[in-house]
Amino acid sequence: MFVDVHAHLDDEAFDSDREEVLEKIKEAGIMVINAGSDIASSQMSVKLAKEHDLIYACVGVHPHDAQNVQKDYIKELEELAKNSKVVGIGEIGLDYYYDLSDRETQKRIFIEQLDLAKSLNLPVVIHDRDAHQDTLDILKDSRPAKGLMHCYSGSLEMAQELIRLGFYFSFGGVITFKNAKKPKEVASKLPLERILLETDCPYLSPEPYRGKRNDPTRIPVIAKTLAELRGITVDEIKDITFANLRCLGGL
């Protein structure tokens, strides 16, 4: 089974036809893990997971929203995480590209959610944009049990350090872009047993759909590029990534 390990089906881009998209995903037989980015989207992720067999949820606060959290946000996330279809805390991390929340606040909220994940024995899903060293330093200090670097954009050397911390790496539409030299290189060299597939929909649609709204049914397109990079078949990529997910999340 193909799995999209990082999607945002709660996004407003799907407001006009969400049920149709969900039906299309069901017909394609693709499992989806929907990520939370704040309390509202985390609630929506859990709702989608409850209502659809092939949808699972992560709950968490994205660094963009770190400055907006309420005092009891950890308790709210903890309560949401009690649902049996919640499989991780995320997406959480640091974003120094946009800096929509100040960096010290981002770090504090990141660390608090890492602590929550450890207390619940759940994997973490990490967002890291232009914050590689601080992300790595915090993860080394916190040492979550397992985790996923979503839409991984770091170096091969950083990935090797993260593997020692128990991390996996997901790749999406970016690896289909002609100018994406570093993601292609990293995806071609990482151990296959650490690689997963994602869309990050509605963003980052793969070629030849670049610029259009993305959705989980485009996972096979991404898998085809990864298979070409690794010199194996698409079916092998499907089987390997599904096995990797079971190792990461115990689904």
Dihedral angle sign, alpha carbons of residues 149, 150, 152, 154: negative
User: Taking a C-beta distance cutoff of 8 angstroms, is the pair 219, 208 a contact?
Assistant: no
Burial of 250 (0-12, 13-18, 19+ CB in 10 A): exposed
3-249 — its CATH code?
A: 3.20.20.140
Structure-token match 């067999």, residue found: 53
pLDDT value of residue 166: 95
The full set of domain ranges for the chain reads: 3-249
Rounded to the nearest 10 degrees, the angle between the axes of helix 39-51 and helix 73-80 is 10
Q: What are phi and psi of 87, to 5 degrees?
A: -115, 5
Around Cβ 33, how many Cβ atoms within 10 Å? 30
pTM for the model stands at 0.97
Tens-place pLDDT, residues 99-152: 999 999 999 999 999 999 999 999 999 999 999 999 999 999 999 989 999 999
Question: Over the stretch 42-59, which tens digit does the pLDDT of each residue have?
Answer: 999 999 999 999 999 999
